[in-house]
Chains A and B, each alone.
Chain A
Amino acid sequence: MIARTTARIRGWGRDLMDWMEERTGIVSLTEKLLYEPTPARGRWLYTLGSATLFLITLQFLTGILLLFYYVPTTDNAWDSIHYIMTQAYFGRLIRGMHFWSANLLLFVIGLHMVRTFLSGSYKAPREMNWVVGVFLILIVTIMAFSGYALRWDQEGFWAWEVGAMISSYTPLIGSWVITTLLGGDTAGPATLSRVFALHVWLLPAVLAPLIGVHLYLLRKHGEFGATFEYSERLAALRKRRQMEETFGSVEEDGQVADAGDHSQEG
């Protein structure tokens, strides 16, 4: 009886998946997205990018939740956060996650960058992934900085003011940069509106598609040093050994030595 029921439910499940697959291609897409060869060497170091992705997703989710209470005005910003911390159920948890995940994110994104640098993953054909990554870390840094100012408490206010003053030392256009950041020639209500627009709308809107490009490029070239890359290189190496055995030493610039090995370039 139980066996028959489970078999039938399983059958329905399969029917549903087939139905969906036929109309959306969801199953094959999921398979394609999930199964990606990664290098056996390095192991945990290759999860740093995914850890970054996890944390930035957490930022998006908890950030959206905070917006249910946060008020971006000089009169009420601090009070609204005080309300989150003292009155709203789980307010401390949600805000705490947003805060700690932001700090951890900066740390982990740095480690991820170090990993891709030390493993030489920025080399051809993955240069553009590095370039996109540089923009990502820049945006994430400005996100962290602007989020700090949104609190509009003493710390956040002075941090933003010092940051704005730093920007005023930009050659030639310094006064343009600082007045754009402040929304005037003094810090006030316009400043907070601008910081809010940056932190909540502009930067995430730029960040999200860039992460998409980052992941697209990753999958296009495959994880650096993944098994297939090694197998290609090993095949090339073996072929070269064979040639050497047959013909004696092969010239450096000979066709044979070149086959499939990009790791020496750049």
Chain B
Amino acid sequence: MPEELQKDPLTRRQFLWMGTLGTFTGVVLTVPSAVFVLDPAIKDVLLERSDVPAEWKEVGSVFEIPASEAVEHLVEFTQKQTYDAGEPAVNGTGAKVETMTNAVLLSWRDGKLPSVLSTRDEGPLPKTQIKELERDLNALSNHCAHLGCPVRWSSETQDILCPCHGGIYDINGDHTGGPPAHGLWHYVSRIREDGTILVKHEFYVQQKGQIGPGVKTKPYVV
């Protein structure tokens, strides 16, 4: 039946040429467009780049975090996307630096004030004490580990609650109830001698009860 419909028979050579040219044209038409649209995915996933430069940002001080309480701090990160060049506005170029605001929930492990802090309330802190404090500090992203709604600390119930689908976390950010598959993301953080806490826009997830950096992943969005 198809042979009958074919008016001018194709030779094998013609057929192969058509196939080659067709494939070439198809590739030329689709590959650049697809790569153009997928540009951010290629840069983030394959080349492991981020919109946010790895800068340390200050988020309060170790002396301000009370026992049994998670306090929220806002932090402004530089964000490089599309029209913001990421350079400060110099020479009248008007290049704009886009920023985004993230919230960090700061608390002590299990809500217990580290012993160091019971004896002093200002810096400078020696190296060993900094190490101790860094081990006990939770610098949590407020981005719910389920679908990213902003979570908040509830002092009445002593846990971190998500307004969207009822995700519940304890003061360490460990998952205790609701749909999230794991605990909250921890910011990569460090403590300066004067007690200032610094965070980077890089994240890891801890196993329940684990101390120190766990698996590095991205929460995306905020």
Contact = CB atoms under 8 A, between A and B. Distances in A.
Q: For the complex, would chain B's binding face be called helix, strand, loop or mixed by DSSP majority?
A: loop
A125 interface: no
The size bracket of the interface on B is: 20 to 34
A186 B82 contact: no
Contact of B148 (A162, A175, A193): A162
Contact of A190 (B81, B147, B220): B81
B107 to A, nearest CB: 24
Interface in B31-90: 37-38, 40-41, 44-45, 50-52, 79, 81-84
A186 B43 CA distance: 13
Contact of A186 (B83, B100, B149): B100
B147 A179 contact: no
Interface in B101-156: 146-149
- Most B CB atoms within 10 A — which of A74, A165, A178? A165
Given A165-B221, A176-B38, A189-B83, A184 B51 contact: yes
B222 interface: yes
Given A176-B38, A179-B40, A187 B221 contact: yes
Contacts of A168: 220
A155 B82 CA distance: 24
Contact of A179 (B45, B52, B82, B146): B45
Contacts, number: 84
Contact of A180 (B38, B79, B100): B38
Given A182-B221, A189-B82, A190-B40, A176 B98 contact: no
A187 B44 contact: no
Contacts of A176: 38, 41, 45
A111 interface: no
Contacts of B84: 189
B218 A185 contact: yes
A79 B51 CA distance: 26
B164 interface: yes
B147 A165 contact: yes
A188 interface: yes
Most A-side CB within 10 Å, residue of B50, B83, B220: B220
A212 to B, nearest CB: 23
A180 B40 contact: yes
Contacts of A177: 41
A74 B63 CA distance: 37
Contact of A166 (B45, B82, B100, B147): B147
Interface in A161-209: 161-162, 164-166, 168, 175-180, 182-191, 193
Q: Interface residues of A: mostly helix, strand, loop or mixed?
A: helix
A60 interface: no
Nearest to A191: B81
Nearest to A202: B37
B164 A162 contact: yes
Contacts of A161: 147-148, 221-222
Contacts of A74: 98
B45 A175 contact: yes
Nearest to B165: A162
B148 A165 contact: yes
A166 B220 CA distance: 12
Nearest to A190: B81
B98 A188 contact: yes
A175 B46 CA distance: 10
Contact of A182 (B52, B164, B220): B220
Given A162-B149, A162-B164, A193-B82, A186 B41 contact: no
A263 B84 CA distance: 61
A186 B147 contact: no
Given A179-B41, A180-B40, A182-B221, A189 B98 contact: yes
Closest 8 CB pairs of A and B: A190-B81, A184-B51, A179-B41, A165-B147, A165-B148, A188-B81, A162-B147, A179-B44
Given A158-B149, A175-B41, A184-B40, 13 more contacts: A161-B148, A162-B164, A165-B148, A175-B45, A175-B218, A176-B41, A183-B40, A183-B81, A183-B82, A184-B44, A186-B221, A189-B83, A193-B82
18 contacts: A74-B98, A165-B148, A175-B45, A180-B37, A180-B38, A180-B41, A182-B220, A182-B221, A183-B81, A183-B82, A186-B51, A186-B52, A186-B222, A187-B100, A188-B79, A188-B100, A189-B98, A191-B81
